[in-house]
Amino acid sequence: MMSASALRTLDELHDRLDLHTGDIQAKRSAFWTMLALSGVIATAGVITDSTATVIGAMIIAPLSTPILGMALGVVTGSIRLIARSAAVVAFGALVVVVIGLVGSAAMFDVPDIMQNSQISSRTSPRIMDLVAAIATGLAGSFAIARRDLGDVLPGVAIAISLVPPLAVAGVCFGSGDFLHGLGALLLFLSNVAALITACVLVLAISGYTAAAQHDGAFRRGHAYLAVGAFLVVVAIPITVNTVTQIVVAKWVSDVRTAATIWIADTPRGHVEKVDSNGARITVDVRSPDLPPPLEVLMSDLERTVPSWLEVTIVHTQGERIPE
CB 162 within 8 A of CB 191: yes
Q: Best-predicted range by mean pLDDT among 111-120, 158-167, 237-246, 293-302?
A: 237-246
157 pLDDT band (50/70/90 cuts)?
A: low
Q: Cα separation of 72 and 90, whole Å? A: 17
Q: Cα separation of 50 and 185, whole Å? A: 20
CB 172 within 8 A of CB 178: yes
Averaged over 262-274, what is the pLDDT?
87
Q: Cα separation of 277 and 179, whole Å? A: 13
Task: Look at residue 253 and tell me whether its pLDDT is greater than 70.
Answer: yes
**Alpha helices in the chain, H assignment, sequence order:** 10-17, 24-47, 51-60, 64-76, 79-103, 117-120, 127-145, 153-159, 163-174, 178-205, 208-211, 217-263, 294-301
Averaged over 233-259, what is the pLDDT?
93
Q: What is the pLDDT of residue 100?
A: 94
CATH code of the domain occupying 10-212:
1.20.1080
Least confident of 25-34, 178-187, 195-204, 290-299: 290-299
- 7 or 216: which leads in pLDDT: 7
Q: Cα separation of 39 and 103, whole Å? A: 10
Q: What is the pLDDT of residue 257?
A: 92
21 pLDDT band (50/70/90 cuts)?
A: confident
318 pLDDT band (50/70/90 cuts)?
A: confident
Q: Cα separation of 110 and 288, whole Å? A: 33
What are 93-151's pLDDT values in tens digits?
999 999 999 988 876 665 577 788 899 889 999 999 999 999 988 988 888 888 776 65
Fill in the DSSP letter of residue 305: S
Does residue 37 sit in helix, strand or coil?
A: helix
CB 202 within 8 A of CB 138: yes
How many CB atoms sit inside 10 A of residue 314's CB? 12
Q: In terms of DSSP bridges, do strands 310-317 and 280-287 run parallel, antiparallel, or are they unpaired?
A: parallel
Q: What would be the CATH architecture of the domain defined by 247-317?
A: 2-Layer Sandwich (3.30)
Complete edge-to-edge strand list for the sheet that includes strand 310-317: 270-277, 280-287, 310-317
Average pLDDT, the chain: 86
- 157 or 182: which leads in pLDDT: 182
Q: Best-predicted range by mean pLDDT among 48-57, 83-92, 262-271?
A: 83-92
Angle between helices 163-174 and 24-47 (to 10 degrees): 50
Q: In terms of DSSP bridges, do strands 270-277 and 280-287 run parallel, antiparallel, or are they unpaired?
A: antiparallel
Does residue 175 sit in helix, strand or coil?
A: coil
Q: What is the pLDDT of residue 110?
A: 59
Q: What is the pLDDT of residue 269?
A: 87
Task: Look at residue 231 and tell me whether its pLDDT is greater than 60.
Answer: yes
- 133 or 5: which leads in pLDDT: 133
Averaged over 27-50, what is the pLDDT?
93
Domain boundaries, the chain: 10-212, 247-317
Q: Cα separation of 74 and 85, whole Å? A: 11
Q: What is the pLDDT of residue 155?
A: 59
Q: What is the pLDDT of residue 212?
A: 61
Task: Look at residue 165 and tell me whether its pLDDT is greater than 90.
Answer: yes
Does residue 323 sit in helix, strand or coil?
A: coil
pTM for the structure as a whole: 0.85
Q: Please list, in sequence order, all residues whose beta carbon lies within 8 angstroms of the beta carbon of residue 80, skipping any fewer than 6 positions away.
A: 73
Position 119, amino acid? I
- High-pLDDT (> 70) share of the chain, %: 88
Fill in the DSSP letter of residue 7: B
Q: Cα separation of 79 and 112, whole Å? A: 44
Q: Cα separation of 194 and 234, whole Å? A: 10
- 114 or 282: which leads in pLDDT: 282
Q: What is the pLDDT of residue 111?
A: 56
